[in-house]
Amino acid sequence: MTAASDEQTDASADELRNALADRLRAHNIIRTPAVEKAIRRTARHLFLPGVPLADAYADHPVAASQPWFVATMLEQLAVEPGHRVKEVGVGTGYNAALIAAIAGPTGRVVTIDIDADLVDSARQHLAAAGVDHVEVILGDGALGHRAGGPYDRIISTVGAYDIPTPWFDQLATGGRLVVPLRLRGSSSRVIAFERRDDRWASVDSQLGVFMPLRGIGDDARRIVSLTPEPDITLQTHQDQTVDAPALAGVLDSTPHQVWTGVVLSGEVSYEWMELWLCLRLDNALMRMNVSPDAAARGQVAPMFAWGSMATTRGADLIYLTTRPASSDPDGLKLYEVGVIAHGPTSDSLAHQTNDEIQTWNRDYRTRSVRFELPDTPETADPTTGRFVLDRPHHPITVIWD
């Protein structure tokens, strides 16, 4: 017999879950009936024990990926009934449960993680939710799980710098891979790849940053503080060089500003401009995280509440900023992009960044971008918007069409 309080909790969970699905559908995040049905039927709160019910169904990250991005990646994955699916990164088990709901009883879902605690908790959550056709494997996700393949779909919920070859080897003919791929510096996109002749080609890409893959595919990050507190920090990657001792006290130097004349709406993402800068600048872009206390000191003028994108060269630091521009005819708020520079020779780096932003705005802003992993590495031609990113196993070609 079910207690009255349990019935009320279940009813509240159903209402909250349906409200979440309604919001995701209204914002065109959910685009297919299969994904909508899975989100409406999968009890997310059972994968987040101890989290208040309202938080479990809110569209923000709570010990798990934000629901809107979970739905986005499911749409990219395009699972069909009966599919065999491998997931790298078990998380709470919620994503695997959603995939299982779409693949159905004739499908098979394998999820793998190197963290034993996550594997154990995911198994418990799946059991509590009554999901019995997901296999949770303890192992290095970069190696995959050949015994469960070949897979119609493979999805990674952890970021990769170089796509492990076993992922491609374990895909069935006609299969699709969805992976958060770090391109250069801080630029990362979740890309859906399918096989096209002599290469893997993107069929969709979305802005997204995930915790990096661990194990043999590790892409560790490094944090460099610019202040003693430390409340202004740079997040750097293995393809970047930061001279921390040389940057000591760099923010105490008088800043120099360069305004680009490039104007963007406050409702437009900066993702493609930032990708262009990551490809063109010698040291790419990195996140400069700024705490509220540091922002209140007025030591920096970040672009966003969290901070700005930045880069360094020896003892020089530059970062992006904005200032209000006049509104467009539709009343949208417009902002001009600028560069703030600190350091003894930072003017040249600031002007180089300014030139690249103007080049992007003039020649590439209206173009689309695609990503390819050719069997034979290709030749870069940056003057036409074609870049090749070196990798140990699968170099990435970035093409501005």
Buried b (16+ CB within 10 A) or exposed e, 115-126: eeebbebbbbbb
10 Å Cβ neighbour count for 344? Answer: 11
**CA 282 – CA 261 distance, rounded (Å):** 23
- For the stretch 194-199, contacts whose Cβ atoms lie closer than 8 Å and that sit 24 or more positions apart, written own/partner, are 195/171, 198/374, 198/375, 198/376, 199/372, 199/373, 199/374, 199/375
Distance CA(99)–CA(110), nearest Å, equals: 10
Residue 276 — left, alpha, or beta (φ > 0 → left; ψ -120 to 50 → alpha)?
alpha
Of 5, 65, 269, 346, the catalytic one is 65
Catalytic annotation present for 346: no
37/59 Cα distance (integer angstroms): 17
- Which residue intervals of 136-238 are DSSP H helices? 165-169
Annotated catalytic residues are 65
